């Protein structure tokens, strides 16, 4: 059973979050601020930290930095409320694994945790992968099977770990960004599914996706992933065969207001987790670039 440390200065909200987590069979512990959270982590490290931003003594941003420095294997998710979006943007840049607007907690908390824990399980099961790889150039063409996306993410996660490319939090962030970009290419590019529908009517979104996987022209469309991993940086180019969109309409990832939107979180995460993100003019190709960071020593 995964353990989650809930850091929230409001006892009422802390209980509400812990109840949601308990319903999904997570073990929980609570702390009232960042100082208490660090003491709790030292006593018994959790698998993940879920923290508010606005707290006394040590706020969520300071906690993100402290956990990244001292416990880089433990991901931190931010719970954002109106008025704290500026800090949330900075926290993503400082090392947070994701964020969840508080008003969307009941809707997307479990799926966000499932994504992150899924990536973590795959990462930690491949600790003994060969470290001899120094360069990788690859090109894949595939359809709309979700299992293929999972396999692609696993492949590159393994190779990046083998090269000791990033620390654990950095590897988690680049893996999540790649997954979001591939899902966007399949769902929103080739299948032309509206992300707003996913947030408002998830059942209808899932059914429409299932239908279009067997309908023309959607079922014939493919995704092309080109990857280059060299010692200095990793580059992913992902292209779909959908109609594309106007890249000039992409929300500004540095604008805090965009953090509280119900949809578009995937592009926000990609923009904040990668060093460089570019779209082609027709909006059906995205280039992701992450430059290598020096590995930090891991605290015991």
Q: Which domains does the chain have, with CATH numbers?
A: 3-124 (3.40.50.2300), 136-291 (3.30.565.10)
pLDDT of residue 298: 39
pLDDT of residue 247: 85
Which positions of the chain have pLDDT values less than 50?
128, 130, 296-300
Q: Give dist(CA 44, CA 159) in Å, integer.
A: 31
pLDDT of residue 195: 79
Q: Give dist(CA 77, CA 67) in Å, integer.
A: 11
**Token pair listed for 261:** 């939107």
Q: Give dist(CA 146, CA 152) in Å, integer.
A: 10
By the 8 A CB rule, do 33 and 7 touch?
Answer: yes
End-to-end CA distance of the chain: 23
Distances (CA, A) of 252 to 141, 264, 269: 30, 11, 12
Peptide bond into 217 cis (omega under 30): yes
pLDDT of residue 83: 61
Number of residues that make up the chain: 300
pLDDT of residue 86: 72
SS3 273: helix
pLDDT of residue 132: 62
Q: Give dist(CA 120, CA 89) in Å, integer.
A: 23
pLDDT of residue 257: 62
Q: Angle between the 168-183 and 265-273 helix axes, to the nearest 10 degrees?
A: 140
C-alpha dihedral, 164 to 165 to 170 to 174, nearest 10°: -130
Collect all residues with Cβ–Cβ distance below 8 Å to 280 and sequence separation of at least 6: 247, 286
Q: Give dist(CA 223, CA 291) in Å, integer.
A: 24
């Amino acid at each position: 059973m995964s353990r989650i440390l809930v850091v929230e200065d409001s006892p009422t909200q802390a209980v509400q979050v812990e109840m949601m987590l308990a319903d999904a069979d997570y073990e929980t512990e609570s702390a009232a601020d960042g100082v208490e959270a660090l003491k709790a982590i030292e006593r018994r490290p959790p698998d993940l930290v879920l923290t508010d931003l606005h707290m006394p003594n040590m706020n969520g941003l300071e906690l993100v930095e402290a956990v990244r420095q001292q416990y880089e294997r433990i991901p931190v998710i931010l719970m954002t409320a109106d008025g704290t979006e500026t800090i949330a943007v900075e926290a993503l840049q400082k090392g947070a694994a994701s964020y969840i607007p508080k008003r969307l907690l009941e809707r997307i908390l479990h799926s966000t945790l499932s994504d992150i824990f899924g990536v973590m399980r795959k990462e930690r099961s491949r600790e003994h992968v060969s470290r001899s790889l120094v360069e990788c150039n690859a090109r894949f063409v595939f359809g709309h099977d979700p299992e293929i996306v999972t396999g692609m993410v696993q492949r590159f996660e393994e190779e990046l770990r083998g090269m000791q490319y990033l620390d654990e939090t950095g590897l988690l962030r680049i893996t999540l960004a790649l997954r979001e970009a591939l899902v966007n290419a399949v769902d929103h590019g080739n299948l032309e599914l509206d992300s707003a529908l996913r947030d408002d009517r998830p059942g209808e979104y899932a059914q429409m996706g299932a239908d279009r996987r067997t309908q023309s022209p959607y079922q014939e469309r493919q995704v092309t992933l080109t990857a280059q991993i060299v010692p200095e940086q990793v580059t992913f180019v992902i292209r779909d065969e959908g109609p594309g969109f106007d890249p000039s309409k992409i929300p500004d990832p540095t604008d805090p207001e965009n953090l509280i939107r119900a949809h578009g979180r995937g592009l926000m995460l990609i923009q904040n987790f990668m060093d460089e993100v570019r779209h082609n003019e027709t909006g059906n190709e995205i280039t992701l670039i992450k430059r290598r960071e020096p590995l930090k020593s891991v605290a015991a």
